[in-house]
Amino acid sequence: MTQSAMSVRFEVNGKPAEVKVEPRLTLADCLRHHLRLTGTHIGCEHGVCGACTVIVNGEAVRSCLMLAVQAEGAKVVTVEGLSRDEELSPLQASFRRHGALQCGFCTPGMITTAHALLTEEPTADADRVREVLSGNLCRCTGYVPIVEAVLDARAAYRKPGREDRT
């Protein structure tokens, strides 16, 4: 019952990666166990919880619903790629300030999703933030502080001259 392993090349957090994987390996498992990027978490493996969200070619995707072999040639960004050196990014700092995490398990998916959203829509309003984050389950916070944290982080993504929608 062995499967032919396939060689896959893509870019992760700005660096090239090459892995040999079975076709059945998900991108989530590939990142976690082949590339040791364990910040991407697996909470359900059936595309509901959002903990495994990563950014592929600029768009947030569920890495449990994508095969590693489908990432050939893609640019993948994980939570580990969202803060340089020892500083928290403005989004991460906002999460901390607002108490937007407790156990931290859903947090990487929240951060990657919110980062993708604010990069595309830096003036997203509370309803839009709630709509987008409704694809990411959190069992600890009740979401109220997460939404506040994302709204509060918008300024860091905004180009000068644009106002928040409220």
Q: Which is nearer to another protein, 88 or 155 (CB)?
A: 88
Closest distance of CB 135 from another protein, Å: 3
Closest distance of CB 17 from another protein, Å: 16
Closest distance of CB 162 from another protein, Å: 19
Q: Which is nearer to another protein, 101 or 160 (CB)?
A: 101
Closest distance of CB 18 from another protein, Å: 17
**Going by C-beta distance under 8 Å and a sequence separation of 6 or more, which residues neighbour residue 62?**
47, 50, 52, 53
Amino acid at 117: L
Q: Is 162 left (phi over 0), alpha (psi -120 to 50) or beta?
A: beta
The H or E element that residue 107 is part of is: helix 107-120
Q: Which is nearer to another protein, 86 or 160 (CB)?
A: 86
Nearest Cα residue to 82 out of 39, 137, 50, 134: 39
